[in-house]
Amino acid sequence: MVTTCVMVHGADNFVGARLAARLAREEWATVIAVKAGDSDGLSKGLNDAQAIAHCIVGNAAQIGRCGRALYRPIAGSTNRPRVVHLSSMSVYGSAGGIIDESSELRADVGAYAAAHRDAEAIAAQAAQAVILRPGVEYGPECAAWSGRVAQWLRAHRLGDLGALGDGICNLVYIDDLISVLIAALRAPGIDRAVFNVAGGAGITWNDYFTAFALALGAVPVRRIGRRRLVLETRVAAPALRMAELLAGGLKMSFLRIPPPVPPSLLRVCRQEIVLSTALIDRTLRPQWTPLADGLRRAAEFYR
């Protein structure tokens, strides 16, 4: 069997590591795992790579730095591998309603969104690039939207947010995202395509928090009022963040400091944006994991 050499850039984060592990089990693929921004690893990998998964997960500075580290050498190379670029739905910024891939990239909700928009602009110059804009990744090893949320729910610091949680939660189960990445690496005729990636259409944040709490056994699910959320995000969050920094600086990792609830959570949970997945559904035909199954697996992992 003829194999394809796939370089995973960002193999040290939860998406890249999971993708590299999955590819290692595929007969058609050989894998080159490169840590985010590893210039030596990129230089060596680009000599052999027939396809690249650019899976950078981090802050704005890292997104920009790692994008330049990959695309600059590609621009000057005769090798033209398929590049699947993992972006984010954050590029749509504060938009509302049904959003498809042709919608304006406002990126007006902070440096993270702007960095992804700028990285997409660089990726779009690569003739064989495919851009993925995933929603909210959840499931095993998804620390941000499953791990932290599980801790908040078990501590009853999060629950039914009432009107503050009626925004749409564009969920995508982590293994569904991995399957989409693999499909995009292999599918013919999709050069320069852009795809929204989400499998939980119509699910609100209240739906997600309540269903996840039930899966975790974190019951009863509390109604969290506006006053409590303000205290969590504006008073407790800065104090907990400071405690995290101090513990890290003093090498006191044994301290169990509860994760802060960031102020940005309130904005996210109110936003009524629905990612349209019509294009990816008819082009790559992903099979979306039912929410109940995904939450059960996430709960088993984090319980």
Q: pLDDT tens for residues 146-191?
A: 999 999 999 999 999 999 999 999 999 999 999 999 999 999 999 9
pLDDT band at 254 (very low <50, low <70, confident <90, very high): low
CB contact at 8 A, 87 and 133: yes
H helices of the chain, where? 14-24, 39-48, 60-75, 111-123, 148-154, 174-186, 205-216, 226-230, 237-249, 264-270, 278-283, 291-302
Q: Where are the domains of the chain?
A: 4-134, 138-171+200-271+289-303
Q: Among positive and negative, which fits the CA dihedral 301, 21, 142, 179? A: negative
Go through 264-302 and write b for each residue having 16 or more CB atoms within 10 A of its CB, e for each that does not. ebbebbbbebbbbbeebeeebebebbebeebbebbbeeb
Please tell me the number of Cα atoms within 13 Å of 167 on its side-chain side.
19
Q: pLDDT tens for residues 1-12?
A: 789 999 999 999
Q: Return the pLDDT at 88.
A: 98
Q: Return the pLDDT at 201.
A: 74
Superfamily of domain 4-134: NAD(P)-binding Rossmann-like Domain (3.40.50.720)
- Characterize the bridge pairing of strands 51-54 and 82-86: parallel
Q: pLDDT tens for residues 229-241?
A: 888 888 877 777 7
Tell me what percent of the residues of the chain surpass a pLDDT of 70. 96
Does the pTM of the predicted model rise above 0.85?
yes
